[in-house]
Structure 1
Amino acid sequence: MKQNYSVPIQGMRLWYEYDENPKAKDTILLLHGFLSSSFSFRKLIPLLKEDYSVITVDWPPFGKSQRPKRFIYSYENIAKTIIQFLQMMSFESIHIIGHSMGGQLALHMMKQNPNYIERSVLLSCSSYIERAKKKYIAASFLPFSSHLIKRWLEKTGVEGNLHQVVYQPQLIDDEMIVGYTEPFTNKAIFRGLVKFLRHREADLSSEILRTISTPCLLIWGEKDRVVPVEVGKRLASDLQNSEFIVLKETGHLIPEEKPEEVMEFIQKFLR
């Protein structure tokens, strides 16, 4: 049974969905990517919930979660907040599926609490991205910086961004456009993005990645123009306990483009 909630934690309200399967032994946490929300897993969740309990979090500053001024929007703190939330909900251990930047968050969670995360599936996981340049961090302190980010995003628009992340443009329909547009109807997201730009550290280095022993399944789109396959191969090399799979004729938005194929690989990996 699917239920939507928001829970107070670290001075904010964290929004999540919970599809509890009373027969399931395992719980899967879904973490969406940059400029996205739980909506991006809409095709994967119905498949997962047949065998697992599924919890989906809108991690700040995205989706329906609050964007408090005093919250630290770093990977380290967001990962810490999500772990605290899961433990508060009395989940003893969990599997993670992270897409794009959600995959980077998953890696941080594995680094922070390696015994808590049993297995992780990384879908086109963002990796090896440096911290924002100092001039952009400095610009984030300008009083009108949120308006600048808003204008930058409006240059391509939601539909333009979707064309960048999917390989087959015919997948883009009205429901998809509306779903990915909804989070940006709240102006607070642009103030949150300013803080995220300011606080986000560089992605985990190869040296740190090599210390992560959690079993990881890496699934990549052959035609990914956002995080190319070469990045996935490098990540698979750095993670000591990983498998690497490439899906043909697939772009960056794997949960939308190939949910059935992804589900098959997830089932084999978790079982």
Structure 2
Amino acid sequence: MTSDFNPTLDVQTISADGLRVHYKRAGQGPTVVLLHGSGSSLEGFERVAALLSASYDVIRPDLPGFGRTGPRPDRDYRVRTYARTIARFTAALQVPHFVVVGNSLGGNIAWNLALDAPERVDGLVLVNATGYPEKSLPAGLRLARNPLLRPVLRRWLPRSATERGLREAVGPNSAIVDDAMVDRVHALTSRPGNRSAFVDFANTDQPDRSGEIKSITVPTLVLRSAEIDGQHFARDIPGAQERVHPDGGHLLPEEHPDWVAAAIAEFLPAVTEKSRYRKEERR
């Protein structure tokens, strides 16, 4: 089977936190950083980025362990380490402050970043984000935690498993999982070191910081699908706004990019205006 997917097209790289982080950047204006979820890549926000880049400077990195950035030499896949990497990545790009948007794992990283570097985060958008201990695990993570399967998964993952995982991640009415999507996700997952990095990530002990979520002070928008369970960001983050999609799955930015982009675009002007006033007050 052939694919038109080109993993290097328009991708830039920069050194940050001991890694060559791969990313795409487009547009002008206040900066918005888009963070994909586990098993995904910067393509997870492709359409959302295209819509937002008309008015914003949109940056999409491939997170360590995924996409083109690939595995961390130190094999440290704690969420707080991811947040540190994104802080250093944006600093390397000379972006002092930004709005951070995260889907799934990317959302977990985003709210950790808002806790650890609130002076740099102008706003927070959580899209089916994770981080509460009662969150149910997707099938891929459960398999990667199986001690009998771990050695196999480090070396081999059939394309059929990639397709099955994608179909389980989308909503019941979604038709986005086609051959092109499966080929793209499978090709990036199969890049050197990524399968083993995913196993390392799945088996990393993640400290529970959910008790700190109530301390987040940056303006927050919560976007979630009605069927996504176990997350309470809108309840716990003071002043958070929430929007619920009635039939989306876990991959909202790919399933319903127009809905996601419109919600973010409505949220951003007030956030960036407040940020501008805060910076003027500090002078």
* TM-score of the pair, normalised by structure 1: 0.84
Alignment-derived partner of residue 193 in structure 2: 188
SS in 1 for 2:13: strand
* Paired residues of 1:28 and 1:55 also in contact (CA < 8 A): yes
Unmatched segments (≥5 aa) in structure 2: 1-8, 138-143, 270-283
Length, aligned pairs only: 254
- 2: CA distance between counterparts of 1:77 and 1:48? 27
Query: What one-letter code is carried by the residue in structure 1 that aligns with 2:81?
Result: N
Q: CA RMSD in A?
A: 2.7
1:8 aligns with 2:41: no
* Paired residues of 2:153 and 2:196 also in contact (CA < 8 A): no
Alignment-derived partner of residue 161 in structure 1: 165
Taking a change above 3 Å as real, the CA distance of residues 266 and 163 of structure 1, as seen in their structure-2 partners, is: same
SS in 2 for 1:62: coil
- Of 89, 92, 96, 1:88 maps to 92
- 2: CA distance between counterparts of 1:49 and 1:82? 20
SS in 2 for 1:268: helix
Alignment-derived partner of residue 60 in structure 1: 64
Alignment-derived partner of residue 244 in structure 2: 246
Taking a change above 3 Å as real, the CA distance of residues 83 and 236 of structure 1, as seen in their structure-2 partners, is: same
* Paired residues of 1:214 and 1:241 also in contact (CA < 8 A): no
1:17 aligns with 2:15: no
Q: What aligned pairs does 1:38-187 form with structure 2 within 5 A after superposition?
A: 38-129=42-133, 139=147, 145-148=150-153, 154=158, 157-167=161-171, 168-187=173-192
- 2: CA distance between counterparts of 1:148 and 1:267? 39
Deviations 1:174-224 (A, max 9, x none): 22212221212224112212332343414422x20011111110111123x
* Paired residues of 1:127 and 1:235 also in contact (CA < 8 A): no
Deviations 1:214-239 (A, max 9, x none): 1110111123xxx42xx34x221111
- The offset of 1:20, in angstroms, is 3.5
- 2: CA distance between counterparts of 1:108 and 1:146? 31
* TM-score of the pair, normalised by structure 2: 0.81
1:237 aligns with 2:241: no
Query: What one-letter code is carried by the residue in structure 1 that aligns with 2:244?
Result: V
Deviations 1:21-80 (A, max 9, x none): 2xx2x0100000011111111121110111111100111111110313324221111110
- Of 262, 274, 279, 1:264 maps to 262
- The offset of 1:5, in angstroms, is 1.4
* Paired residues of 1:39 and 1:180 also in contact (CA < 8 A): no
* Paired residues of 1:11 and 1:71 also in contact (CA < 8 A): no
- 2: CA distance between counterparts of 1:155 and 1:19? 31
- 2: CA distance between counterparts of 1:154 and 1:202? 31
Alignment-derived partner of residue 212 in structure 1: 216
- The offset of 1:3, in angstroms, is 4.5
* Paired residues of 1:73 and 1:195 also in contact (CA < 8 A): yes
* Paired residues of 1:147 and 1:190 also in contact (CA < 8 A): no
Taking a change above 3 Å as real, the CA distance of residues 155 and 179 of structure 1, as seen in their structure-2 partners, is: closer
* Paired residues of 2:174 and 2:255 also in contact (CA < 8 A): no
* Paired residues of 1:123 and 1:254 also in contact (CA < 8 A): yes
- 2: CA distance between counterparts of 1:83 and 1:46? 23
SS in 2 for 1:42: helix
- 2: CA distance between counterparts of 1:138 and 1:218? 32
